[in-house]
Amino acid sequence: MSRTVIIEPVTRIEGHARITLQLGDTGEVEDAKFHLTQFRGFEKFCEGRPYREMPALTARTCGICPVSHVLASNKACDHLLSVSIPPTGEKLRRIINLAQITQSHALSFFHLSSPDLLLGWDSDPVSRNIFGVMRQDPALAKDGIRLRQIGQTIIETLGGKKIHPTWVVPGGVSEPLTQEKRDAMLKLMPEGLDIAKRTYAFFKTLVPKFKDEASHFGNQPTMFLSLVSPKGHLEHYDGFLRLKDAQGRILEDMVPPHEYERLIGEAVEDFSYMKFPYYKPQGYPKGIYRVGPLARLNNVDACGTPYADVALAEFHMLQESGPIASSFHYHYARLVEIIYALEMMERLLKDPTILDARVRARARSNRYEGIGVTEAPRGILMHHYRIDDEGLITWVNLIIATGHNNLAMNQSIRQVADAYVDGNNLQEGMLNRVEAVIRCFDPCLSCASHAFGEMPLAIELKDATGRVVDTLRRG
C-alpha cells in the first residue's frame, strides 16, 4: 500500500518547511518534495514606497541575513542614482559583508550542522543539537560561539547594531570609520583566524569518515553560478557573473550583473511558496544550477589571500577532476570562506585609505530602474526595482540565494531518500539524513518566502478598520 511520509518541521534550518516522501506499495521512494510553507509577500507590499526606504524594508525579510539585503538593496539604489560610490565607502561595505559571511557560516557549521557530524546521524534527537555538542566537545562549541560573536561584533561596530543596521545607505555609507573602531576590529582578527584555521584542520580529519554521505548528499551534475572578480578571483560584493557546467566548462563569463535576466528565468510550482530559478538557455527544469560557497569555490581561479588559497587547493583535491559535485562539501567550502573573510577583512582594515572621510556620493534618482547584485552567505542575491517620477516603487523582483538552489534541494532529498530510506523499516536516522542534505545548503527560508507563490489561495488585505482594500488571488 502506498503512503506519504511527512517530515515537519525540517529542523536546524532558518525558517519553516516540510518534506514529503511518497512511498510505493513495496516501500520504495517514488517521489520527494521540499515544501516552503511560509507566505510573506515582500515584493508586493513594497510597491508605492519611496525607493530610499527599500534597504530598511527589505532587510526585515530576515533577521539572519539583513546585511546581505541592505547591501543588495543599496546597490540597486546606487544604480537608480547613477552614482559610483567613493572607494573607501566600497571598502567599508566589503568589510561588513565579510563580517556577515563569517557570522552566518559559523552559525551554519557549528550550531546547525556540527551536531550531525560530531554526534552522528542516528544519535538521540533530544541531544542532537548545539547543547549536545557542548557536552561532547566544549572547546569546539565555544569556538563556534566566539567566531560568530566576532562577526556580529564587527557588524555592530560598523553598522551601529547587529541586526538591521542602517549604516549602509544609497551612495555609500553614512559615516566614515574612526581609528578607534578600526583598531578594535583589527584586534579581533588574529583570534578569529586562529579559530577558523583550527576548525578547518579539525574538519579535514572528519571528511574521510563521510565518504558515503558525500556520495549521496546532493552528488549530482548541475551548473554553478557565482560572482567573480575581473581576475576570476573569489568575490562577495561586486564583480561579474560566471556560470560553469558540471564538467567545469565556462558557459557564461564576465556577464555584468544587470544583465541577469538574459541568464535566469523563474518558474513556480503548486507545492511551494519558493520560486524555482533556472538557466534560461537550457529551459525549466533542465537548467538547474547551484549557488553559494560550493559554487563560488568551484568557479574561482583563486581566493586571493594566502591561507585561503592553500585551503582552496586542498578543496579541489576532494575529487580527481571537474567541479566538486557533492552538496555535502558545502560544509568544507564554508570553512574556506571564513578563512578568506577574516584574511580579507584584516587586509582592508590595514588599507591606508580606510579612514578617509569621503564615503558617500549624493544624488537624486537619475533612472527608472535599478539592479543590485551581491553574494550573500548562501549565494547570489538579486534586488531589482522600478520607480516612477516621484521615486516611488512600481515593481520589485527579488531572487534570493536559497531560491537559486531550489531545484537542487528537491533533487537532493530524492537522492538521499533513495539511498537511505527503507519504507518497510523506517528509522528516525533515515529521515534525519533527508533533513541533513537540506542543512548542507543552509537555506534561509524567511528570505526565500519573500515572494508571492502560485499557490491556490486568495488573501484579503484590510485597513485598520477592517475594510477590505485589496484581494490577492492566484494568477
Does the pLDDT value for residue 450 go beyond 70?
no
Calpha distance 215→327 (Å, rounded) = 9
Q: Are strands 17-23 and 240-244 parallel, antiparallel or unpaired?
A: unpaired
**Angle formed by the axes of helices 87-106 and 138-159, to 10°?**
150
Confidence of residue 471 (pLDDT cuts 50, 70, 90): very low
User: Which amino acid does the sequence have at 315?
Assistant: F
Per-residue pLDDT tens over the stretch 184-212: 999 999 999 999 999 999 999 999 999 99
Tens-place pLDDT, residues 210-264: 999 999 999 999 999 999 999 999 999 999 999 999 999 999 999 999 999 999 9
Model confidence at 474: pLDDT above 60: no
pLDDT at residue 466 tops 70: no
Please state the pTM of the whole predicted model.
Answer: 0.93
Enter the C-alpha cell of residue 327. 552538496
Mean per-residue pLDDT over the chain, rounded: 93
How far apart CA 218 and CA 331 sit, in angstroms, is 13
pLDDT band at residue 179 using 50, 70 and 90 as cut-offs: very high
Q: Is 65 annotated as a binding residue?
A: yes
pLDDT grade for 472, boundaries at 50, 70 and 90: very low
Residue 316, annotated ligand binder? no
Residues with Cβ < 8 Å from 151, sequence gap 6 or more? 99, 100, 101, 102, 103, 104, 106, 192
Which domains does the chain show, CATH number per domain? 39-410 (1.10.645.10)
**How far is 414 from 232, CA to CA, in rounded Å?**
34
Residue 464 has pLDDT above 90, yes or no: no
Is 440 annotated to bind ligand? no
454 is in an annotated binding site: no
Residues 6+ away with beta carbon under 8 Å from 32: 19, 20, 21, 22, 410, 413, 414, 417, 434
Supply φ then ψ for residue 375, to 5 degrees. Answer: -100, 110
Task: Give 197's contacts (C-beta < 8 A, 6+ positions apart).
Answer: 307, 339
Residue 297 labelled as part of a binding site: no
Mean pLDDT of 269-295: 96
Q: Could you count the other beta carbons within 10 Å of the beta carbon of residue 250? A: 12
Q: Is the pLDDT of residue 458 over 60?
A: no
Question: pLDDT tens digits, residue range 57-83?
Answer: 988 887 788 999 999 999 999 999 999
Judge whether residue 453 has pLDDT over 70: no
Could you report the per-residue pLDDT of 386-434, keeping only the tens digit for each? 999 999 999 999 999 999 999 999 999 999 999 999 999 999 999 999 9
Residue 303 counted as an annotated binding residue? no
User: Looking at residue 62, what is its pLDDT?
Assistant: 79
How confident is residue 460, by pLDDT bands cut at 50, 70 and 90?
A: very low
CA 379 to chain centre: 4
User: Cα–Cα distance between 91 and 351 in angstroms, integer?
Assistant: 9
pLDDT at residue 446 in the model: 81
The predicted structure's pLDDT at residue 266: 96
> Does the pLDDT at position 105 exceed 50?
yes
Q: Does 28 belong to an annotated binding site?
A: no
